[in-house]
Amino acid sequence: MRSPKEKTYMKKARTPKEKAGRIALYVFVVCLALVVLYPYFVMFTTALKSRAEIYAMKGTLLPIVWEWNNFTDVWSLAPLARYFINSIVVAGGATAISIICGIPAAYALSRMRFRGKKFFLGLVIVSQMFAPVVLLVGIYKIMSMFHLTNTLVGLIFINAAFNQAFAIWLLRGTFMSISPEMEKAATIDGCNQVQAMIRVLLPVAAPGIVTALIFVFINAWNEYTVALTLISDDALKPLTVGITTFNGYNMIEWQYLFASSLFATIPVVILFVCIEKHLVGGLTSGGVKG
Amino acid sequence: MKKKKILRAVSPYLWLLPSILLMVIFILFPIFEVFRTSLSEVSRAGIIKGFAGLDNFTKVMKSSAFGMVLKNTVVWTIVVVGLSTVSGFALAMVLNNEFRGRKIVRAIVVFPWATSLIIQAGVWKFIIDSDYGTLNTLLMKLGLISKAVNWTPTPEAYFAWECWVGIFVTVPFVTFCVLSGLQSIDASFYESATVDGAGFWQKLFFITLPLVRSSLTVSTVLNIIYVFNSFPIIWTITKGDPANRTDTLVTYLYKQAFYKGRTGEAAAISVIGFLILCVCASVYMVLSLRKEEQDA
């Protein structure tokens, strides 16, 4: 959907004052982009330096010798591939569970009237209020009860539970923006409610669902605190915890830390840029207008 | 016939069931456990020995570090959320203009939001390092400083840098919430205001702010919760050291629980954090549910 106000043409600056404003705008925007990109520039250039150069007295902006093999070396210096797989399993699993639980909940919240609907909506909001870090003591306890400490399954469930609220919120907003008429027609044609939802609503709601999927995936991918607490086995660490291997007690191997950080960052940044537009639309339409 | 009626009455709850189960087991139960632990005497191994009343709370309150930790938490939350909201709002106003390359800039602004906090904080830790940090190198190359500056001479300086990183990663969220609000404002409002002779500030206060208020409310309240509970930035840069000078409630409780084995006290700190956040949560609920009623 394109709003009519998103003009593609440029407003021509006419007066000198307007021209000065244009120039100021461009200067500001360029500076802004440079500041935002600065840490990524540092990450990239440092990942290409040798350790000696990083710790040298006289700092350099760009590497003197471009150590491209840092990017290949990290894979053997730490079980980076293992961490990658763990991150994919945790983020993928959490996404699947929170969407599988979230879709029917969002469907009921957008299509049905029932007692306690407001209460449930309130519960969804409240659950969003509590970050896992405040509940770690309790989470640790329940995880030991189910023997899920130091397992990926435990991480999957915690991430799913804490991201579910957002998924429900986004999905409900999407479903509410779609007219229920089509589903009604489908039920008259003999579909039951579940079939009508799957065959009629979900295909139309696909953009919203993809947004929710990617959002949960990124959140679970970037999660650090719970993984740090629950996982002690090196072979089970996700990337966020695993890369801190290079953050040793005496000496930080910055070049390897940043090389692996880049591998962990690039995929999610790309995903995020793809959904950026939909996400905020969903955020405010689902969150504010209800 | 009767069976069908029951089914219809129950069916909404069946749709909600998976989601309710997930929430009850992995969120509500831990909440219950934290409260129970906070009121119990707990051994170092984490075994509950019996009811302890408010002992854990008094121990926490009495400890010398707690006052500072609480103060840090408040400063951290207010500074990060406050400055992020103001600058995110200003940024949204700028990005709402038409200009060449706007799409690219919007994509770039999203970067810090998408990057794991632990990685973002790690980079900044490197940038500000007083021995080999690249901020000094950059500023010297640009000719802005002549010799290396120690950017972190005191714990307060570290804390200020942590706030900066917090702001850096929070601004994109505010910007995008406000942007989506701004884009729903009809341009004709501004045109007629200009015709009536309204200046920039008048347009800002009488048109823009009232119309993006709801977007700002959502982003502010959510940010208060996220920032209050933010753990990785401080953990990566200083771990709350030296001597709790840069600790906030969450890093402090983490150390109590998993380094010092004081589970009971950690749970009590969690509960104190809850109570503070509950105030925010109820404000949020009142605001958003009231909105809902207005729209219904």
pLDDT digits (tens, 9 = 90+) for B136-164: 888 888 888 888 888 888 888 999 999 99
Q: Hey, is A5 helix, strand or coil?
A: coil
The minimal CB distance from A141 to the residues B33, B104, B250 is found for B33
At residue B27, does pLDDT exceed 50? yes
Q: For residue B180, what are the contacts with CB-CB under 8 A and spacing of at least 6?
A: A280, A281, A283, A284, B215
Cβ distance B19 to A273 less than 8 Å, yes or no, reads: no
pLDDT band at A125 (very low <50, low <70, confident <90, very high): confident
Choose among B219, B229, B213: nearest CA to B77: B229
Of A94-103, A104-113, A211-220, B34-43, the range with the highest mean pLDDT is A94-103
The minimal CB distance from A36 to the residues B108, B136, B284 is found for B108
Q: Which residues of B touch A90 (CB under 8 A)?
A: none
Task: Name the residue with tokens 């329940």.
Answer: A142
Of A43-47, B86-90, B214-218, give the lowest mean pLDDT range: B214-218
Of A254-263, B144-153, B282-291, the range with the highest mean pLDDT is A254-263
Q: Hey, is B48 helix, strand or coil?
A: strand
Are B253 and B214 a contacting pair, CB within 8 Å? Answer: no
- CATH, domain range B36-295: 1.10.3720.10
Residue-level pLDDT at A7: 44
At residue A201, does pLDDT exceed 90? no
Q: What is the 3-state secondary structure (H, E, C) of A146-170?
A: CCCCCCHHHHHHHHHHHHHHHHHHH
pLDDT band at A6 (very low <50, low <70, confident <90, very high): very low
φ/ψ of B51, rounded to 5, equals: -75, 135
A220 touches chain B (CB under 8 A): no
At B75, the amino acid letter reads: V
Instruction: Give the residue ranges of DSSP H helices in A48-196.
Output: 51-54, 69-77, 80-111, 117-129, 136-145, 152-176, 181-188, 193-196
Structure tokens, B229: 């509970």
Residue-level pLDDT at A289: 35
Choose among B167, B157, B160, B161: nearest CA to B126: B161
Each residue's pLDDT tens digit, A139-193: 988 999 999 989 999 999 999 999 998 889 888 888 888 888 888 888 888 888 8
Residue-level pLDDT at A185: 84
Cβ distance A136 to B99 less than 8 Å, yes or no, reads: no
Higher pLDDT, B287 or A241: A241
For the segment B93-122, the average pLDDT, to the nearest whole number, is 89
pLDDT band at B120 (very low <50, low <70, confident <90, very high): very high
Instruction: Verify cis geometry, omega within 30 degrees of 0, for the bond prior to B242.
Output: yes
Residue-level pLDDT at B294: 60
Nearest CA in chain B to A274: B107
At residue A1, does pLDDT exceed 50? no
For the segment B198-227, the average pLDDT, to the nearest whole number, is 81
Cβ distance B289 to A36 less than 8 Å, yes or no, reads: no
Of A11-20, A57-66, B180-189, give the lowest mean pLDDT range: A11-20
At residue B285, does pLDDT exceed 70? no
Q: Which residues pair with B42 in a beta bridge?
A: B48
Mean pLDDT (chain A) is 84
Residue-level pLDDT at A3: 45
For the segment B212-235, the average pLDDT, to the nearest whole number, is 85
For the segment A249-264, the average pLDDT, to the nearest whole number, is 85
A25 touches chain B (CB under 8 A): yes
Q: Hey, is B49 helix, strand or coil?
A: strand
Burial bucket for residue B258 (CB in 10 Å: 0-12, 13-18, 19+): middle
At residue A284, does pLDDT exceed 70? no
pLDDT band at B293 (very low <50, low <70, confident <90, very high): low
pLDDT band at A90 (very low <50, low <70, confident <90, very high): very high
Residue-level pLDDT at B193: 82
Share of chain B above pLDDT 70, in %: 94
DSSP state, A11? P
The minimal CB distance from A158 to the residues B26, B137, B232 is found for B26
CB pairs under 8 A between A and B: 289
Residue-level pLDDT at A5: 45
A122 touches chain B (CB under 8 A): yes
Are B113 and B170 a contacting pair, CB within 8 Å? Answer: no
Higher pLDDT, A163 or B277: A163
Residue-level pLDDT at A9: 43
Of A30-39, A57-66, B223-232, give the lowest mean pLDDT range: A57-66
At residue A11, does pLDDT exceed 60? no
ipTM for the complex? 0.85
